[in-house]
Amino acid sequence: MTEMVYGTLPSRDGEPILPRWWNTIDRWSLTCVLLLFGIGLLLGLASSPPLAERNGFQSFHYVERQTFFGGLAILALILTTMMSPQLVRRLAVIGFVFAFLALLGLPFAGTDFGKGAVRWYSLGFASVQPSEFLKPGFVVVAAWMISSSLDLNGPPGKTMSLALTLLIVVMLALQPDFGQASLVLFGWGVMWFVAGAPIILLIGMAGMVFLAGTFAYNSSEHFARRIDGFLSPDVEPTTQLGYATNAIREGGLFGVGVGEGQVKWSLPDAHTDFIIAVAAEEYGLVLVLAVIALYATIVVRSLIRLMRERDPFIRLAGTGLACMFGVQAMINMGVAVRLLPAKGMTLPFVSYGGSSLIAGGIAVGMLLAFTRIRPQGEIGDILLSRRS
C-alpha cells in the first residue's frame, strides 16, 4: 500500500519477471479493474436470478458464467500486461485479422438471437461477438499505421487507417450495430487528433457523421425507432428506458436496499445493458458515483502516464484504448439515464457477457502494458534537451 501511495519503484536489470511487472505496472488502475469486476458480480447476484428463472436455469446460472468468463478475462489481462509493446502489437495484428474475418462471415453464419441485429456466432454452449474482439486490435493496428506515417519517408498511414476505419464502420452499420460503429470511429478520431490532424479536417469528419446519421435515420427502421424514442418528450413506462429511468429515480441517494429492487423483474437486459439501473435502484447514487470514479481513475491515470511516453505508437495506441474504454462506459450509463439513444452496449467489467468480459480484459491489458514504466527518458526531457 505504501508503494501505491508514494509511487512505483524503478525496476532493476536482472530482476525476476513478477517483481519487475509489479514495480512497473499502474497498480491503481489494476485495482480499479478488479473492483469493477467485483461490483459486477455483486450486481449480477441481484439482477440475474429473475432472468435465470424465466429461462429455466438455476438461480445463479448467469453469475456462475460471469465468474468463469471474468476469471478468463482477468487471466488474459494479467498475461497481456506482462508483454512488451512490440509483442502486444504483433499479437494485436493477428487478433485483428481473425476478428475482421469473423466479422465478414457474420451475414452468412451469424445469428441475431431474436434481437434484430446479426452480431453473434452461436457455439451452442456460448456465443461470440466478433466486434468486441475487433476493437482493441483495430486501435493497435490504426495506431501503428498513423505512427508509421510520422516517420521520414513513411507510408501514407493516416490515409490507410481512414480507409480501414470507414470499411469497419460500414460493416458494423450493416448488422446494424451503430453503437460499436460510433465507438470505432471515435477511437480512430482521438488517435488522429493526438497525431496532429488539423481541426478543420475533424470538423469535416463530424459533418460527414451527421450526414451518415441522417441517411441511417431515413433508411433504417431499427435506427429511426431508437432515435424517435430518445427524442420523444414522454417515456413509455413499459419500455426498457421507462423501467430503467424509474428505477434510478426510485433508488435516490442510498437505494431501496439490497435485493429489494423491482427493475430486475421487468428488464430483460437488467444484467447487461441496464446493469447500472439495478445498481442505482438497490444501492443508490452512492454506488453509481463510485463506479464512475473507478472508470475515471483508469482513464485519467492512463492518459497522464501516456503524456510522458516517447514512442508515438505507444502514445497513440494507449490513448485510443483509454478513451474508447471510458467512452463505452459513458455511453452505457448515458443510455440508462436517457442522455443518449439506446445503443445495446455493455458496461465494461460490470455487465454480463463472455465476449465483452474477455475482450475488455485484453483491451485493458494492452493499455496497462503500454503504460508500464520503462527505462526511458520522458518526452519533456527530449523537448528540453532540444531547446538547450
For residue 259, how far is the Cα from the chain centroid?
A: 28
Q: How confident is the model over 215-246, as pLDDT tens digits? A: 777 877 767 777 776 777 666 666 777 778 88
DSSP state letter for 233: S
- How much is the pLDDT for 319? 97
- For residue 338, what is its C-alpha cell? 436517457
Q: Is 169 exposed, middle or buried (0-12, 13-18, 19+ CB in 10 A)?
A: buried
- For residue 83, what is its C-alpha cell? 508483454
9 within some domain: no
- How much is the pLDDT for 119? 87
7 within some domain: no
13 within some domain: no
- How much is the pLDDT for 2? 40
6 within some domain: no
Cell numbers 453509481: residue: 288
How many helices and strands (H and E) does the chain possess? Answer: 15, 2
- How much is the pLDDT for 360? 95
64 within some domain: yes
Q: Which residues of the chain have pLDDT under 50?
A: 1-11, 377, 382-384
Please list the residues that pair with 122 across neighbouring strands: 127
User: Rounded to the nearest 10 degrees, what angle do helices 275-306 and 27-54 cross at?
Assistant: 160
- How much is the pLDDT for 48? 83
Q: What is the total count of domains within the chain?
A: 1
5 within some domain: no
In SS3 terms, 360-387 reads as HHHHHHHHHHHCCCCCCCCHHHHHHHHH
10 within some domain: no
Q: Residue 274 is which amino acid? A: F
- How much is the pLDDT for 4? 44
Domain that holds residue 314: 24-377
